Amino acid sequence: MNKSTHFIGQPLYVQLLNYFNRDKILSLSQAQGGEHYIKKFDAWHHLVVMLYAVMMRLDSLREIKASLFANVNRFNHLGLKHFPCRSTLSDANKRRDSEIFGSIYMNLYEKYRHELYSDSRNCGQPKWLKNLKIIDSTTISLFSNLVFKGVGRNPKTGKKKGGIKVHTEIFANENVPSDIKFTSAASHDQFALIPERYANEELIAFDRAYINYEKFSELTQRGVIYVTKMKSNLSFERIADTDYEMTTDYGAVRVETIIFHKHTKEKDIYHKARKVTYQDKTKKGKIRFISLLTNDFQMSAEDIIAIYKRRWQIETLFKQIKQNFPLRYFYGESANAIKIQIWITLIANLPITLVKNKIRRSRGFLGLATMIRILLMSYVSIQGFFEYPHRDWESRIAIIRFLFYIF
């Protein structure tokens, strides 16, 4: 049988691993004590096995072992010198600090972030897009309430499930996490909004769960612009006449200057803000009024609305990760093992995003991730196949036509 025109001497998985630097990963692990008393199963082996499990969507240590056995002949390409048993992988997930994998992710992100943003792809985009950061959190349900405290009331029957909240920050023009923090699901989002982390002229967008007048005042003092959705039950005082701005997409937009006052034991907090109210249609065609808050008084109302609508980008990212790398089953019960698996999921998302940006053929992330999972251990060129997948079929048609012409 003729070889595929996309044939290459390495499995597709090895081509994805080429994005990683083995020496750098071992160096990061050694710096954080991850290689103490380790003889064989170092951080590189750990990453290769876990990344394989997440990309193949394997549900247990037993499945991981069986799948590795099925591809034992390809281990030389993977750089695996030692075949890990279930207890070895379980112990590594429990003992090797999850922050090592956080460092691996951040190192990979910093190394390739220039490929995540392209001036050609973002031609014609507004100037504020480069400075826009979006923050939000997503909750991952767990099987127990012992490791991470769950949110809500205890059910009348049965045990309450726990949950881990993943606080995420992304740049709007990159669409991958640039900063990650973990807390229990019971913690409130506003604690993750830290004004000291933002510099002058930075722009951040977030939902109404982050509303905190004191932090809003600190952001304003630091020259940081925020845009968020307003809660319906907020008390405020209107200090300027209502104005109406005509916009291209939203018609007449109501703009007000308001001030919030909150009394605490330590001090009185006053915060001046701009309220922008516009009409929006639901999927069913119903009209609803949405009010936004910002501390910026210079940008047009249309830009403020566009900035907040960009916030939906992070929700799409959460859906993308959960849809393609479902975290329904965990390979360990400890907090460290759970965090490692989440970090590996984020790491898996990054090289696939890089491949998606690199290939010249337009492809959705879901279809690309599915094909990569199916062909993960196949000897096909990752770029050649995804740019022109029909080449094999067309070459065979050409041969058939040639033979038909001869005979």
Calpha distance 212→273 (Å, rounded): 12
Residues in CB range of 257: below 8 A, 6 or more apart: 238, 239, 240, 272, 273, 274, 275, 297
pLDDT in tens, 44-92: 999 999 999 999 999 999 999 999 888 877 777 676 767 788 999 999 9
Amino acid (1-letter code) at residue 225: I
Q: Compute and round to an integer the Cα radius of gyration of the chain.
A: 25
Low-confidence ranges of the chain (pLDDT < 70): 1-8, 77, 79, 81, 118-124, 143-162, 389-407
Query: Exposed, middle or buried by CB within 10 Å (0-12, 13-18, 19+), for 141?
Result: middle
Model pTM? 0.86
Residues in CB range of 279: below 8 A, 6 or more apart: 250, 251, 287, 288, 289, 290
pLDDT in tens, 120-160: 455 668 889 888 999 999 988 876 544 455 444 455 555 55
